[in-house]
Structure 1
Amino acid sequence: MTVTQSPAPAAVPAAPPGWLRQVTPGPALATLIVFAAALALTQGLGFTHGATLILRTAILALAAVSLSFLIGQCGLVSFGHAAPVGIGAYAVLISGEYGVTNVLAVLPL
């Protein structure tokens, strides 16, 4: 008696883990363009409150994305993640109280 075997189907390669996956930059790039256009529009029209609101939103979004990266892709539990953001905000506030308003002088803080 003869047994015929058919060849096994080729294995589908597994998706690479976490940060190695291909990410399309479309939505992120569109969001960046919308934020930049809104910031330029509010500055050009003289709406300082709108510019302040957009900048605060961008700063908090940056903190949220970095926390998402730490918890999601890296798998680290972050107990003091907000501390550097708060210390930086406090340092910029204190330097503003002393009259330092140059962006290049405040940027390293």
Structure 2
Amino acid sequence: MDEEKLSAEESQVLDALKEIIDPELGIDLVNLGLIYDVTVTGKHCDVTMTLTTMGCPIGNVLASQISQAVMSVPVVETCDLNLVWEPAWNIDMMSRYAKVALGVHG
């Protein structure tokens, strides 16, 4: 996701999503590369995301946390989460910060 092309409202949503830490990895969802897109249209937000694995046991917990974070942005009144599996998540999608924090080289 190109953060430079986001509107002010979309940047606020992304900042809120950076507060959600994956409990297994200890890194936020944005730096893990799990958030593919954030779109704010009027007072509605769509978040397109994935999980590290299809059988992720904390998927429902994360969905609840994501909805709460998005709805904490003053302009947002409604939110839809779009969980996708394409493209499949891989470690190359992580930020440099996440890779360093997790000891991933390459």
TM-score by structure 1 length?
0.27
Q: Which has the higher helix share?
A: 1
Q: Which has the higher strand share?
A: 2
- Which protein is bigger by CA-based radius of gyration? 1
TM-score by structure 2 length?
0.28
